[in-house]
């Protein structure tokens, strides 16, 4: 079977915030993507996989029955908003439960279609997203954890023994991690915003040292490009994926890591990167890749990213990437080294790669890489404050994000158009020679110093934003208003 599949159901459009129309996670997210893929003829010839609501039994593979029952008991708009006051960044309406059941069920059906070879790869265009939700804690726009539920169905009901989850969303997949980290049949690999714990969710287990089956690549600066993301894939995720030899790859496709999506705190990944990531994963598990929509909130960006992802899903030509002569960011260099040292204990491929890198250091008359100690974690105070807001049921339910100005919007669109105008649909050009991949991680005093400076600048931005909020009388920071305390 060489035909790709997709999931899209307009019933998921009914999930919306009835008391704040400025919410970034809006129905238009999936409609805009579907319309873009249709306009580009990227769905032509694909199988439209029927959507259904996930059963309680399937949902309960990751969530307690109490969560489903508590959502079923909500009746009025007041009920829904009050429920969200003890949840970290969540909104609900009378149609939210059905939409969440459809998102989970659609993801399961996309996964089954791939596993049962009814299609070769699939893209589940679903909402609400899922990768922050776990247990009895829907949060971060997420109600049920679509990808984690599908992974559990794959191993518990379909008998798969090796499932790989890859998450490139801007935010950490904390819900997915807590849902699967003790399951030896599942490996979770993620690149995500961390800032030494100064970024949400402010927990230390989102660092590279997370135990269990996690392959966490924490990002400690803003502005990483596709060059940096692909380097992390080539040095860490792809070798581990090859060693793991997955029977299924689930991709948590969050496009809020794209250039400009998160405003001043954005990463800067160009849209073709996502297509190349999916294409590279397909080389490891041909026809067994199922991408599932997570974040992405700036329409000109996430629609371009989705189009490139669908190209990767279908094995269609992608814009060439030319990174051979562009240096890897020093912060990513340090992050990759830290991850390799930690992961070398568990993965033979990483152990061998680390040995080769250290030998390259010696041949260049440079000292071997030694991780910075002690490690830095800045999230303890922040997480404690968030937990206090949740316990007091004082979470904000409206106006979470500042609205972009017309000037900011125009600047981001111009930056996107600039790289789109340079598209050349030729053979992918990435660093292919192993020796060159060793050289791009060369570690010296200059790189170390620059990594420290750049990481400190971004981390301080997140930390100071929190301090400003705490010390002001009218500060607002996503979860709670200062006036409540």
Supply the Cα-derived Rg of the chain in whole angstroms: 21
Q: Counting beta carbons within 10 angstroms of the beta carbon of residue 24, is it exposed (0 to 12), middle (13 to 18) or buried (19 or more)?
A: middle
Phi, psi of 234 (to 5 degrees): -70, -35
Contact residues for 186 (Cβ-Cβ < 8 A; gap 6+): 151, 155, 163, 164, 165, 180, 213
Beta bridge partners of 269: 258
Question: DSSP states of 277-297 as a string?
Answer: HHHHHHHHSTT-EEEEE----
Task: State the residue for tokens 């798969």.
Answer: 160
The packing angle between helices 28-39 and 299-314, to 10°, is 50
CA angle (24 as vertex; 23, 29 as ends), nearest 5 = 125
Rounded to the nearest 10°, the torsion over CA 135, 137, 142, 148 is: -10
330: nearest Cα among 449, 197, 170: 449
Q: Exactly one of 15, 63, 131, 132 is catalytic; name it.
A: 132
CA distances from residue 173 to 133, 147, 281, 401, 444 in whole angstroms, order as listed? 9, 10, 19, 20, 32
Among 1, 2, 6, 3, residue whose Cα is nearest residue 291: 6
Q: Which class for 443: exposed (0-12), middle (13-18), buried (19 or more C-beta within 10 A)?
A: buried
Gap between the Cα atoms of 193 and 212, Å rounded: 20
| φ and ψ of 166, to 5 deg | -120, 125
Active site residue 338: no
Q: In whole angstroms, how far apart are CA 449 and each of 37, 350, 444, 454, 455? A: 44, 25, 9, 9, 10
From the list 320, 166, 321, 316, the residue with the least C-alpha distance to 254 is 166
DSSP code at position 233: I
Contact 418, 270 (CB under 8 A): no
Per-residue three-class SS string for 108-125: HHHHHHHHCCCCCCEEEC
As annotated, the active-site residues are 132
């Amino acid at each position: 079977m060489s035909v790709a599949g997709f999931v899209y159901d307009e019933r998921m459009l009914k999930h919306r915030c009835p008391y704040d129309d400025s919410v970034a996670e809006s129905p238009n997210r999936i409609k805009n993507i579907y319309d873009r893929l249709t306009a580009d003829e990227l769905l032509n010839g694909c199988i439209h996989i029927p959507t259904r609501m996930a059963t309680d039994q399937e949902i309960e593979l990751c969530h307690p029955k109490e969560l489903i029952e508590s959502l079923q008991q909500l009746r009025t708009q007041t009920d829904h908003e009050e429920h969200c006051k003890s949840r970290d960044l969540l909104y609900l309406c009378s149609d939210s439960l059905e939409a969440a059941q459809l998102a989970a069920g659609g993801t399961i059906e996309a996964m089954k279609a791939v596993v049962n070879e009814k299609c070769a790869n699939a893209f589940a265009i679903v909402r609400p997203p899922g990768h922050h939700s776990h247990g009895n804690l829907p949060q971060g726009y997420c109600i049920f954890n679509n990808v984690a539920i599908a992974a559990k169905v794959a191993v518990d009901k379909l008998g798969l023994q090796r499932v790989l989850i890859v998450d490139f969303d801007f935010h950490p997949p904390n819900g997915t991690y807590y849902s699967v980290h003790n399951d030896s049949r599942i490996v979770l690999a993620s690149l995500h915003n961390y800032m030494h714990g100064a970024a949400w969710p402010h927990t230390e287990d989102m660092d590279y040292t997370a135990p269990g089956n996690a392959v966490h690549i924490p990002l400690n600066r803003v502005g990483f490009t596709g060059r940096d993301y692909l380097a992390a894939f080539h040095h860490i995720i792809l070798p581990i994926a090859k060693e793991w030899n997955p029977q299924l790859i689930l991709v948590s496709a969050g496009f809020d890591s794209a250039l400009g999506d998160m405003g001043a705190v954005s990463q800067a990944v160009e849209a073709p990167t996502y297509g190349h990531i999916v294409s590279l994963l397909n080389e490891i598990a041909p026809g067994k890749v199922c991408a599932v929509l997570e974040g992405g909130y700036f329409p000109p960006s996430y629609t371009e990213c989705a189009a490139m992802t669908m190209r990767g899903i279908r094995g269609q030509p992608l814009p060439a990437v030319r990174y051979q002569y562009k240096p890897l960011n020093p912060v990513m260099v340090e992050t990759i080294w830290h991850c390799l040292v930690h992961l070398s204990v568990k993965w033979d491929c990483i152990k061998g790669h680390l040995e080769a890198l250290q030998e390259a250091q010696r041949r260049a008359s440079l000292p071997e890489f030694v991780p910075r100690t002690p490690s830095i974690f800045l999230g303890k105070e922040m997480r404690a404050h968030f937990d206090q807001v949740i316990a007091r049921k004082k979470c904000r339910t409206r106006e979470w994000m500042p609205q972009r100005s017309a000037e900011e919007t125009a600047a981001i669109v111009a930056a996107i158009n600039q790289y789109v105008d340079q598209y050349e649909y030729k053979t992918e050009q990435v660093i292919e020679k192993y020796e060159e991949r060793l050289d791009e991680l060369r570690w010296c005093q200059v790189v170390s110093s620059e990594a420290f400076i750049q990481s400190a600048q971004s981390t301080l931005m997140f930390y100071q934003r929190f301090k400003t909020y705490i010390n002001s009388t009218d500060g607002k920071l996503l979860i709670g208003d200062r006036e409540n305390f």
